[in-house]
Amino acid sequence: MQPGSLTPFLAPQGVAVIGASHDPTKLGYGLARNLVQSGYTGGVHFVNPRRGSLLGHPVYASVAEAPDPVDLAVILTPPPTVPQALEECGQRGIRAAIIASGGFREVGSEGAALEARCVEIARRYGMRIVGPNCIGVIDTHFPLDTTFLQPPGPARGEIAFLSHSGAICAAVIDWLRGQGLGLSSLVSLGNQADVNETDMLAEVAADPDTRVITLYLEGISQGRHFVEEARRITRQKPILALKVGRFESGRRAAASHTGALAGSESGFDAAFLQSGVIRAGTIEEMFLWARALAWCPLPHGTHVAVLTNAGGPGVAASDALEQQGLQLASLSAETISTLQEILPPAASLHNPIDMLASASPEQYARCLKALLEDPGVDSILVIAPPPPMFSAGGVAKAIIPVIQAGEKPVIVTLMGDRLVQEGVEFLRAARIPEYRFPEAAASALAVLARRAQDLDCPEEALLCSTDVDIPRVKSILSNCRPGEFLSQEAALGLMEAYGIPTLQLRLAATPEEAARLAIQEGFPVALKVASPDILHKSDVGGVLLDLGDAAAVSQGFDAVIRAARERRPEARIEGVLVQRMLTSGQDVIAGVVSDPQFGPVAMFGSGGVEVEGLHDVAFALAPLYPRDAERLLDKTWAGRKLQGYRNLPPADRTATRLALAHLAQLAADFPELAEIEINPLRVLPEGQGAFALDVRARLKK
């Protein structure tokens, strides 16, 4: 076994329970009981100074006495005694410990110090720790249960569950039993003094009994490491994540639009997208999806057939499918004629297929078979409200062999409770997902389609240009002060160094100079007040556009200076910047902001001064993969509009994606940049490029 291996946590050869108790009201008894009752076949060693025997196993006064094999310790003793227990484990040669006890970092600074001591001891022995303040680990296949929870534990299943919250583990285990859903493994991560979500993710992903991984996260410890691991794992197995604490941190203070719009969740959203992790909104949704992903084949497309015995549920199903971005399949003439043979004349043969209330189990089965054989049908939603003449159990029994013989996903909606219970149980035993309402079924079908699409995408390389001038950026940044915004010239210099086209900005100190520069650059020109203290220049009347001749420019010079002086008397004003104006194209915003957990995150969308109000923006982790750049454009109206809209001709999408990629690369190469924002990026008609017209960039403090 590798030093530092996590294998003993899920597949130990022998477990020492330090703090095992004879008192059935104590958690230390529950832990011992669960370990024994789980059917664990390795060495079981209870440790308690009072010795004796417990549940048929000897109790040792110290872990030193425990005989081989023993490679995992579970510690559930009062917090002050935990460091000593760890020491003894280290001396006994144990290299993995679950600290179940609470009373560490979560209760304040004294507890944090105690936790630090534990980590220090573990480091010394090369020992890995799960916890403290956790409820331990369960593997239903190995089997192993190191928790102290009230029985029964989870049923055997294909889903791994990793959680930052122990209480959620307890609730999920009990709730899943009622849902007829099992787990392959469960890990309560607690305070993560050592082993974190990413470490354990890789461990459970390697488990052949796990088909789907579910995560309950309150944060992510090593953002980029998580993304890399998850991206690798999701090529093999789906990962579903529920991240809570969405609203806790609020928006961070930021001077740019990009920063203001990038709430703390933008980083998580971008990270999950790039790593292929499917983000759920609630625990119910996560396991609704997990059930389908664990039990169903993947569909080859998004066309769904709906088979039901009443009109109302069919309409509700159509709504739900459409809302999920799925389509009702058009049935082939052959299928329709087969259905016609099976069903009475008043039945509706067009998708959704309404077999009428008289539909028998046999009719359900025969129609389902016909639909499975239709090449235009990718997946099927079967719905049965309590049938007036037959039992839902009979329907379930009839369709199960048909579903099992097919290779397409079939999801069943049994609407009701007691009257459909027998059918529910048949379907659960056959590992066919069933839900009570069509909305849940449609959501499950959608996640299957999404997973199929994700796997269809070939692996990509990061967008990374070699034609960048790193020394030039270094030199520019070395002249800038931490926490402050770069001058416009410096910011444009960054663009040029990374191959993002700009328009020259020429500084004029007098009206005459401005006019002369405008003649050199070509009309029309824009004038912008030059001041290191004025960020939102148009807010102070510091921008004049479309000046068509020299006279307008020299008058404009005075107007801009006057307006800026009036509105911001304290600002240092260096003159006026003259810039040629591009008279065609579309304006968008492109930015990058540094996320505390994930580093640089790129933003794209509708720019201008109203960017924060319109909120037409999307985010992606920087640097970008080609798919990220595509997505940024597809997800925003600003990006879709680049394809042409009404009198707007198609704009240069290729140049836009390139600018985004280079901007993201710049931010990734220079993590000292807190934010960069191009607003606007002017995208010219196809083939003519995209220009950074105004750029703001700020160094971290």
* 249 interacts with its own copies by CB under 8 A: no
Q: How far is the CB of 23 from its own copies (least distance, A)?
A: 12
* 216 interacts with its own copies by CB under 8 A: yes
Region near its own copies per CB under 8 A, out of 266-274, 453-461, 475-483, 638-646: 638-646
Region near its own copies per CB under 8 A, out of 8-16, 66-74, 517-525, 602-610: 602-610
* 465 interacts with its own copies by CB under 8 A: no
Q: How far is the CB of 22 from its own copies (least distance, A)?
A: 17
Residue number with CB closer to its own copies (547 or 622): 547
Residue number with CB closer to its own copies (345 or 522): 345
Give the distance from CA 156 to its chain's centroid: 27
C-alpha 266/C-alpha 246 separation (Å) is 10
Residue number with CB closer to its own copies (190 or 599): 190
**Residues touching its own copies, count (CB under 8 A):** 80
Q: How far is the CB of 541 from its own copies (least distance, A)?
A: 7
**Before 532, cis peptide (omega within 30)?**
no
Q: How many CB atoms lie within 10 A of CB 644?
A: 14
462 burial (CB, 10 Å; 0-12 / 13-18 / 19+) is: middle
C-alpha 456/C-alpha 300 separation (Å) is 10
Give the distance from CA 333 to its chain's centroid: 42
Site for its own copies in 83-122 (CB under 8 A): 102-103, 106-108
Print the binding letters for residues 421-450 with its own copies: x by CB under 8 A, - otherwise.
---------------xx-x-----------
* 417 interacts with its own copies by CB under 8 A: yes
Q: How far is the CB of 538 from its own copies (least distance, A)?
A: 6
How do 53-54 and 57-60 pair as beta strands? antiparallel
Residue number with CB closer to its own copies (171 or 202): 171
* 640 interacts with its own copies by CB under 8 A: yes
How do 303-308 and 353-354 pair as beta strands? parallel
Per the structure block, which two tokens stand in for 282? 């609630």
Per the structure block, which two tokens stand in for 640? 């879709």
Q: How far is the CB of 484 from its own copies (least distance, A)?
A: 22
Site for its own copies in 475-534 (CB under 8 A): none
C-alpha 44/C-alpha 67 separation (Å) is 10
Print the binding letters for residues 251-280 with its own copies: x by CB under 8 A, - otherwise.
------------------------------
* 29 interacts with its own copies by CB under 8 A: no
Print the binding letters for residues 284-323 with its own copies: x by CB under 8 A, - otherwise.
x------------------------xxxxx-xx-xx--xx
Residues 6+ apart with CB under 8 A from 472: 493, 496, 497
Region near its own copies per CB under 8 A, out of 44-52, 198-206, 268-276, 413-421: 413-421
**H helical segments located in 415-480:** 421-429, 438-456, 470-478
Site for its own copies in 128-157 (CB under 8 A): 148-150, 152
Measured CA to CA in angstroms, residue 472 lies from 475, 493, 698 at distances of 5, 8, 17
Region near its own copies per CB under 8 A, out of 66-74, 298-306, 492-500, 535-543: 535-543
Q: How far is the CB of 482 from its own copies (least distance, A)?
A: 28
* 641 interacts with its own copies by CB under 8 A: yes
* 699 interacts with its own copies by CB under 8 A: no
C-alpha 505/C-alpha 694 separation (Å) is 9
* 650 interacts with its own copies by CB under 8 A: no
Per the structure block, which two tokens stand in for 73? 């310790």
Site for its own copies in 325-384 (CB under 8 A): 346, 357
Q: Rounded to 5 degrees, what are φ and ψ at 597?
A: -95, -30
Residue number with CB closer to its own copies (66 or 242): 242
C-alpha 476/C-alpha 471 separation (Å) is 9
Per the structure block, which two tokens stand in for 358? 């008289």
Residue number with CB closer to its own copies (41 or 421): 421
Site for its own copies in 541-560 (CB under 8 A): 541
- Strands of 445-549, DSSP E: 506-508, 525-530, 543-547
- Strands of 283-389, DSSP E: 303-308, 327-328, 353-354, 379-384
Residue labelled with tokens 């509708």 = 606
Phi-psi group of 272: left, alpha or beta (phi > 0 → left; psi -120 to 50 → alpha; rest → beta): alpha
Q: How far is the CB of 477 from its own copies (least distance, A)?
A: 29
Angle at which helices 264-275 and 626-634 cross, to 10°: 130
Per the structure block, which two tokens stand in for 559? 């107007």
Site for its own copies in 158-187 (CB under 8 A): 163-168, 170-171, 174-179
Region near its own copies per CB under 8 A, out of 35-43, 245-253, 334-342, 525-533: 245-253
